[in-house]
Structure 1
Amino acid sequence: MIVWSLVGFTAIVIGLSYNLIKVFKTTFQKANITAKNYRNNEIPIAMGVVFPFIYLPSILIYFVMVDRQYTQVISLFSIMSIFTILGFIDDLNIERRKGIIGHIYSFIFQGQITIGFIKASFGILIGGTFSIVLNKGFENIILLDTLLIALSANSINSLDVKPGRATKGALLFGILISLFTLETSILIIYPAIIMLTYYLKGDLKEEYMMGDAGANGIGSFFGGFAVIILPFQQKLVLLTVFIALHILTEFYSLSRIIKRSSILTFFDNLGRQ
């Protein structure tokens, strides 16, 4: 049954991705929801808004096929949608990018509440709420899960500098955590992986950017899924990796770090025109 389920999911997600990405791309171009990419080309931004719309039908099918895990699936879709909205708001503002430390510094030392600070605060609150819902009786790991969700969202966002980089990072993250997934639970994450795989083609061709909307949304989704399936020790390792990545990218250019490694450079440039 699982094989046919995956085949059906694949066909549905690809069909939805093809049509919805085309619609959103055209709509954003007409509405002038665009920005200049690293080559100075004006292309649609915040195209990651499409992700919840593609994923939603998969949830409905999942409910028909698997008579359990309702709370988990609804929570994951909700957190993806809310983080997508927060990211979309950030995509539309013209505030200069500061990074997490920059937003905190502006709040504490300059008395300025930036859009990024508001988004980060809401992200922590949402991640905390999600953790509480899924961890009844396990209050000791709520803080860990909250940080894992929030930093997952921002880690993918930190990769969204060049075409395809954030999408590849999200795909790698999703595939790695899917290795720890039970057979029935794979149906939760599989549509997101197929969706990103299809989306990657246009991303690499510089037809659009996922923006904070997509990076935060899909990052929080995979982070939430990691919270559900990973044991404590593996969560701790993943959180340590995310913290290290955040510290590194606050003080050093990720692009320069990638250029110093031939392997990272190869995968970073793979498929890019």
Structure 2
Amino acid sequence: MGTFFRALGAGVVAAVVTGGARSVLDTVSPGGPDRWTRTNHRGEPISLLEGPAVAAGLVAGALVAGPDVRTRTATALATAGGGAFGLVDDLAEDTSTRTKGIKGHVGALLKGQVTTGGLKVLGIGTTSLAAAFVGTRRTGSTFGYLTDVAVNGSIVALSANLFNLLDLRPGRALKSGAALALPLAVTPVGATSGAVLGAAVAAAPGDLSERDMLGDGGANALGALVGTQVAFGTPRAVRLLALAAVLGLNVASEKVSFSKVIDGNPLLRRFDQWGRRPAAPAARPTPSAPSAASPVDEPSSGQDAPA
């Protein structure tokens, strides 16, 4: 019952902090509203203010949910690191460059070029590893402990980036976080699922209606928090499988569009579209438009367009 009440408390705290922070940010909008406005996949304006609000709610919920001070500290550190460095990339990214993905940013770093994405990779990697040192308990040899720390830190960092890749359509990252948090509720750190669900409930109306988006700050924080649930709450065999899965998905994202994969699977497509605005109807061809006999090639980037 202790876990249930911690989860309930974490959910309430995360929802209240997320909603409250979003309202305050809407009033003050540091730097002005334009600084926080982007264009979504429909070509419509959308606000990034959801991101820091969700990150704040997740950190607050994590501080309530953890079974002990050590786990609470590690989880909050990883989540705050994901939110902070993601927010830097949101607000300071040089949009004139085409550097994208972990591969692109790491490649730039190796050439001595520090992009905001590269800074995010280094920052989230560092805070994830630090969180793993704090939250991983030593149960065997020094080598085994250091291996566990490396595995746990990698899970957290890669999960943070994976959720950023999911934040390309309304509600996708929030729904994915909730779907993963539910089965993880049975782990020793299961109360943290309450924080995920609470923040998701508070943020979902604005996200699904396409007024808000998580951005890097919110998505990285959400992914990092879900990653800590796996890292600090599951056996080593499960963690190794999880590491292989998130690593594989991150690598695949460099070549494969997740949106195309989701749209091609009826079950995933239904889950992805649940609660969203209907897709805009396709424009009817005009007499001057090319006919079916002379088709125009559609642009194909191999990547999802940012929301």
The answer to whether TM tops 0.5 is yes
Corresponding residue number in structure 1 for 2:109:
107
Counterparts of 2:238 and 2:47, CA distance in 1: 37
Of 148, 168, 181, the residue aligned with 2:155 is 148
The residue number in structure 2 matching 1:271 is 275
Deviations 1:182-229 (A, max 9, x none): 4xx433331232211221121000111110000111111121222111
1:41 match: 44
Question: Which structure: larger Rg?
Answer: 2
Instruction: Return the alpha-carbon distance in structure 2 between the equivalents of residues 10 and 144 of structure 1.
Output: 28
Maintained 8 Å contact 1:28/1:34: no
Following superposition, the deviation at residue 22 of structure 1 comes to: 2.3
1:23 maps onto 2:24 in alignment: yes
Aligned CA RMSD, in angstroms, stands at: 2.4
Q: 2:15 touches 2:201 (CA, 8 Å); kept in 1?
A: no
1:211 paired residue number: 215
Do the aligned partners of residues 112 and 200 (structure 1) sit closer, same or farther apart at CA in structure 2, a change above 3 Å counting? same
Output the CA distance in 1 between the equivalents of 2:55 and 2:195: 11
TM-score (ref. length: structure 2) = 0.78
1:136 and 1:6 map into 2 onto residues whose CA distance is 22
Q: What is the CA distance between 1:79 and its match in structure 2?
A: 1.8
Deviations along 1:153-201, one digit per CA (max 9) or x if unpaired, are: 000001111111111122222223223x24xx43333123221122112
* Distance in 2 between residues matched to 1:175 and 1:236, nearest whole Å: 20
Matched residues, number: 265
What CA distance in whole angstroms lies between the structure 1 residues aligned with 2:69 and 2:174?
27
Contact 2:129 2:150 in 1 (8 A): yes
Closer, same or farther: CA 24–136 of 1 in aligned 2, 3 Å = same
Q: TM-score, normalised by structure 1?
A: 0.87
User: What are the ranges of 5 or more consecutive residues in structure 2 without an aligned counterpart?
Assistant: 139-144, 278-307
Q: Give the 3-state SS of the residue equivalent to 2:133 in structure 1.
A: helix
- In structure 1, list runs of 5 or more residues that go unmatched: none
Higher helix fraction (1 or 2): 1
Post-superposition Cα deviations, 1:60-79, rounded to whole Å, max 9, x if no partner, equal 6568xxxx611110221122
Counterpart residue type for residue 199 of structure 1: A
User: Cα 1:241–1:53, aligned 2, differ >3 Å: closer, same or farther?
Assistant: same
Q: 1:131 to 1:12 in 2, by over 3 A?
A: closer
The structural deviation recorded for 1:126 is 1.6
Distance verdict in 2 for CA 1:50–1:163, change over 3 Å? same
Q: Does 1:244 align with 2:248?
A: yes
Residue identity over aligned pairs, in percent, reads 25
What is the one-letter code of the residue matched to 1:76? T
